Structure 1
Amino acid sequence: MKNKPSYAISSVDHALQLAALLQQEGALRVTDVADRLEVSVSTAHRLLAMLVYRDFAEQLPDRRYGPGKVLRPAPLTEAPVALLRRVALPHLRALVDRTDETANLMVPAGDEVRIIATVECDQILRVGDRVGRTLPARFASAGKAILAALPAEEVESHYPDDYPSFARELAQIRRRGFAINDQRTETGLTALGMAVRDPSGRPIAGISLSIPTARFIRDALPTWTTALSSATTRLEAALSSAD
């Protein structure tokens, strides 16, 4: 299980976070960067200047900064990432308050899912922030939940060689309403995931609850999945009424 190292260099961490933000969300103002990274405007400006120098960012005519040529465009999702993140954060925080475990929001990106928001719990042993990481959709809990909500032929087009066995797992996920990732993407991490759907029923994102495997117990599943279902339902309702 990976957590932030005790010797982390904050300036490097900020630069990497900023590069991920530019790739995922597009053009940002200096003040937007300062707010998202929780740094001063002058620090945000210096970070952007360095990314421009290394071609990770470029300044646009309207004085905002966008992704540079080094950053390949992120795969398109079916809902705006910035809107999803903004609307989801209160519900992720509520989920963390109820479970005291870390919550993530993921969006589909081809045969992967990309983590666009994390709210960490306060426990000493916890799963850390994973924003910007991509995971194989067929192994990540939220990824599997998203795939289970898609038409069978669409899933089969992504996994033609081993679809029959995978289809059985997806059918089980549909029956119980959630997916489990037991250390398939990271040793020491077990996660539960549910899909977030748009009004037509199409999955557009997924919420996962990430738990250190050492603390994962089957008896707690009803509590965790009830909280996860509530957060998912409330997020879907909020998205349907969001501007």
Structure 2
Amino acid sequence: MDKPLKTPPPYPIASVDHALRAATILQMEGGATVSQIAERLGVARSTAHRVLAMLVYRDFAVQDEDRVYRAGPVLELAAHSQSLVSRLRAAALPHLHRVVDLLDETTNLIVRTGETARFIASVECRQALRVGSREGMVFPAHRTTAGLLLLADLSDEDLDGVYAPERYRDRPADRPDLSRLRTELKRLRRNGFAVNRERSERGLVAVGVPVRDRDGTALAGLSVSMPSVRYDPHRLQALVTTLNATAHALERDLAEQH
């Protein structure tokens, strides 16, 4: 088994986490108000205001005349029009909440960019022992449930391009074994779902399915994450059935937007 990539720090600093998450929201979605940031972070408006003020001071954010905060010059400026990521997230959130209501496990939406997978939406469950929000976090695609599903949608030629040796000249240990990866992706294509047992984080199991556009291309991955002590392999088919039904409902909503 691959060594898990990310482990939460033993002494997390909430203020730093809030600032990083707020900056990620501005970068991915183009803009937000103090109230919207407060709601997303689960903090008071006064706390959100202080976080945003510091981001502005350090040029990670700017404030428009309409009092909307946007990504600043330090970050890659997000498009002012509604991006694909933003539309995906907005369409997916009601569906993620329904999955949490049904399964009472944290649910996520993930997209792939090159060799990385990014969590663009995450809804936590209500259980005391739960997987926390991964929204805004980035992992190597081959280590995540949804990332593997999105890699499985690539042709062999495209996969070779993503993992071209020259891209890993300075970090050869990060490049996956392509022979093993192709074998795994072939199995995922056949199954239509993926299971991640502590591959990206210790003590975490995730199950995921793809979300496709009208021509069948995988746009994102939909996953449910839970502590490994609560995962029951006998529930796998039920989890996949629920996720597939949710993915199809989201696909219909996205199709109606066009």
- Answering whether residue 215 of structure 2 is matched by residue 181 of structure 1, we say no
Report the count of equivalent residues: 238
Shift of 1:193: 1.4
CA distance in 2, matches of 1:86, 1:39: 21
1:138 is matched with which residue? Answer: 142
Q: Is the Cα–Cα contact under 8 Å of residues 150 and 203 in structure 1 kept in the other structure?
A: no
Q: 2:185 aligns with which of 143, 157, 170?
A: 170
> Structure 1 197/122 Cα, relative in aligned 2: closer, same or farther at 3 Å?
same
- Answering whether residue 87 of structure 2 is matched by residue 87 of structure 1, we say no
Q: 2:236 aligns with which of 210, 221, 225?
A: 221
Aligned-residue sequence identity (percent) comes to: 46
- Answering whether residue 105 of structure 2 is matched by residue 101 of structure 1, we say yes
Question: Can you give the 5+ residue segments of structure 2 that lack an aligned partner in the other structure?
Answer: 1-5, 166-176
Question: Can you give the 5+ residue segments of structure 1 that lack an aligned partner in the other structure?
Answer: none
Q: Is the Cα–Cα contact under 8 Å of residues 96 and 103 in structure 1 kept in the other structure?
A: yes
CA distance in 1, matches of 2:239, 2:192: 12
* Letter paired with 2:180: S
Describe the superposition over 1:154-202 as per-residue Cα deviations: whole angstroms up to 9, x where unpaired: 1221124633321111110011110121111111111111111111111
Q: State the TM-score, normalized to the length of structure 2.
A: 0.82
Shift of 1:39: 5.0
2:118 is matched with which residue? Answer: 114
Shift of 1:45: 3.6
Shift of 1:128: 0.8
Q: Is the Cα–Cα contact under 8 Å of residues 4 and 128 in structure 1 kept in the other structure?
A: no
Describe the superposition over 1:88-133 as per-residue Cα deviations: whole angstroms up to 9, x where unpaired: 0111111122222111111112211111111111222211111110
* Letter paired with 1:101: E
2:207 is matched with which residue? Answer: 192
Deviates more, 1:21-30 or 1:172-181: 21-30
Over the residues paired in the alignment, what is the CA RMSD in angstroms?
2.5
Q: State the TM-score, normalized to the length of structure 1.
A: 0.86
Describe the superposition over 1:203-224 as per-residue Cα deviations: whole angstroms up to 9, x where unpaired: 1111111121112222111111
SS in 1 for 2:132: coil
Shift of 1:27: 2.8
Shift of 1:60: 4.1
Shift of 1:40: 5.5
CA distance in 2, matches of 1:166, 1:14: 35
Q: Is the Cα–Cα contact under 8 Å of residues 150 and 202 in structure 1 kept in the other structure?
A: no
Q: Is the Cα–Cα contact under 8 Å of residues 207 and 232 in structure 1 kept in the other structure?
A: yes
1:64 is matched with which residue? Answer: 68
CA distance in 1, matches of 2:92, 2:9: 23
